[in-house]
Amino acid sequence: MWSMCMSKSLKSFLFVASFALTMIVEGARLDHSDLYVFDGLYYKKNESIPFSGKITGRVVAHVVQGVLDGPYKQYYNNGQLRQSGVYKNGEKNGRWISYHKNGQLHSEGSYKNGKWEGEWVDFYENGLIRSKGNYRDGKRIE
């Protein structure tokens, strides 16, 4: 009897500990509509401490102490992908792609420390190229 009670208690403890560890590792998950941005930082509504965790909904992203950090995806109301890329310490970095509501490419290019870097291409809704340009440190170069 004693070992059966102990076994149930141990199982309960392990379950609770496992759940708590999962919440610590994964952090909170909130729909983007439950957050607001103030001074460039994300906060949970009615709270004054910067949010850390995963944003879900029309925006899917990871936030660390109020700052976007990691893969980022934004969707139109119809569920179509609007843009995707990566944030590093709150700044866009690496390849970013955006789409028109009809699913056609809108633009593609790279960011470095939040500024356009390298070749950027913009497209019309029909998929034809609208413009191309090369950038360094956010400024167009010839």
Per-residue pLDDT, 22: 36
Residue 50 structural domain: 29-141
Residues constituting the chain: 142
Q: Which two tokens stand for residue 141?
A: 């170069």
The answer as to whether 9 is a domain residue is no
Q: Which two tokens stand for residue 109?
A: 């290019």
Q: Which two tokens stand for residue 78?
A: 């119809």
Q: What is the pLDDT of residues 53-106, one digit of tens each?
A: 999 999 999 999 999 999 999 999 999 999 999 999 999 999 999 999 999 999
The answer as to whether 125 is a domain residue is yes
Per-residue pLDDT, 28: 79
The answer as to whether 22 is a domain residue is no
Per-residue pLDDT, 27: 57
CB atoms within 10 A of CB 106: 19
Residue 51: CATH number of its domain: 2.20.110
Euclidean distance between CA atoms 40 and 56, whole angstroms: 19
- Of the pLDDT bands very low, low, confident and very high (cuts 50, 70, 90), residue 8 is low
The answer as to whether 62 is a domain residue is yes
- With tokens 């392990």, the residue in question is 14
- Inform me whether the pLDDT recorded for 25 exceeds 70: no
Q: What is the pLDDT of residues 28-51, one digit of tens each?
A: 788 888 999 999 999 999 999 999
The answer as to whether 7 is a domain residue is no
The answer as to whether 1 is a domain residue is no
Euclidean distance between CA atoms 138 and 125, whole angstroms: 25
- Of the pLDDT bands very low, low, confident and very high (cuts 50, 70, 90), residue 6 is very low
115-126: b (≥16 Cβ within 10 Å) or e: ebbeebeebeee
The answer as to whether 5 is a domain residue is no
The answer as to whether 126 is a domain residue is yes
- With tokens 């700044």, the residue in question is 91
Number of domains in the chain: 1
